[in-house]
Structure 1
Amino acid sequence: MAAAAAVALLGGCSGEQRDLPKAESDTWGDPPAAASAAKIGAPGSACPLPVTFDLAADWSPEGVEDGLFDQGGFALRCEIDAKPAGHLGFLRVWTGPGADSAAALETFVKAEQGTAAITDRRTRPHKLGTEATYMDVENERPERVLAVFTTQGIVILTLGGADTEEHKAMLPAYVLASRTIA
């Protein structure tokens, strides 16, 4: 794909640069966040997590059994289904060891087969977070990922949809979750 042109990737708090592929166009045209309808992550919720965040209406969270899915050393802990909200895709929450959100994000994304066109930025609301967009070139669809440092390690939030249109339609729910993560 033409979008796999090599360019520098900002890493962590130090401002050092790492060479990774980057998308040729701006991939950060975020829509407004969806309205909050619920909160997930607290003890006793459908998915107890090291963080909490808001969910959009009709998104259905479900805890994932330990050890079922792993990507780059991060275990899938919660899958939030968009089908009840009329979309084909998921928000997924992964947890794993670490203290560097940029390094964790890079490891996580590189562990996914068929990825290219990585664009990275520090998140605005989180001093210890790193967010990226990238292309799943095998399935020809964009992906979003946010890695946040917590006292219990790294938490990774991902948005994956069936295709580019579903990704765009679900982005307001991801924006809500990423902006309210605490």
Structure 2
Amino acid sequence: MTYANGTARRIAGLTTLPLAFALLTGCGTEAEPSGKAAPSSAPSASADAANGPAPATGPVRSVGAKGSPCALPLTLDAPADWKAAPVKLEGDVAAAIGAQGTVTLACELDARPSGATGFLRVWTGALPGEDPRAALEAFVADVPDEKREQVVYREVKAGALPAVEVTYLGTSSITEETEKERALAVGTPSGVVVIVVDAMDDAEHDAVLPAYERAKQSVRTTQ
């Protein structure tokens, strides 16, 4: 999600903080838009929101189960040539950067080893029974200095599990740049998991979407 023009920028410096981090199609119901429409010259969040791109193909690695790079409340498939790494929070600064809404940054899936750019980032909650829609709304709302337009929440499937997805346009009040944003919230017995497309610009965002769609379709619980 956008933080002064992209969560990617919010997180980009984490590995340089000395004590901060040790590494870092579904079937929808009727859409529920909110907010004002963006100007016609702005990118569109809704053009591909309901039907994302085809899932990525090729070798995959399973992430989330015990023994995988990240232990999570759910398991998903990521491209085999992406790097998966847990995010370990240390200190007040790191904890503040790595907390958003009711969830905490837990795992980073990095496309750079494949020659591409962009990330999928996985955030986990610790409130059993929390409503995924409420958690996702809190996640989106907890971004300072951002104007949100074309906000659409949809009930979807993550694998066989019910989930909620959000797409919107986020405009930084600092840089005044507008970017596409997309995230998915899934309920698990131990709390909500939020999977986020993290990119520096719309081209990078669109390049990550096939991997996001594959992750979304492959979700299964590990508990």
Task: Identify whether the pair has TM-score above 0.5, normalized to the shorter chain.
Answer: yes
Mapped contact 1:101–1:128 kept (Cα < 8 A): no
Query: Does residue 158 of the first structure (1) align with residue 196 of the second (2)?
Result: yes
Shift of 1:149: 0.4
Mapped contact 1:101–1:148 kept (Cα < 8 A): yes
Shift of 1:19: 7.5
2:134 aligns with 103
Aligned pair count?
167
Question: What is the percent sequence identity of the aligned residues?
Answer: 38
Aligned CA distance change for structure 1 residues 115 and 62 (closer, same or farther; 3 Å): farther
Shift of 1:140: 1.9
2:187 aligns with 149
Aligned CA RMSD, in angstroms, stands at 2.2
2:214 aligns with 176
Aligned CA distance change for structure 1 residues 181 and 87 (closer, same or farther; 3 Å): same
Aligned CA distance change for structure 1 residues 77 and 101 (closer, same or farther; 3 Å): same
Shift of 1:115: 4.4
Could you state the TM-score of these two structures normalised by the residue count of structure 1? Answer: 0.83
Q: Which runs of 5+ in 2 are unaligned?
A: 1-29, 39-45
1:77 aligns with 106
* 1:8-157 alignment, distance < 5 Å: 20-21=34-35, 25-28=46-49, 29-35=51-57, 36-66=59-89, 68=94, 69-96=98-125, 97=127, 98-113=129-144, 114-117=146-149, 118-125=151-158, 126-138=160-172, 139-157=177-195
Q: Which runs of 5+ in 1 are unaligned?
A: 1-14
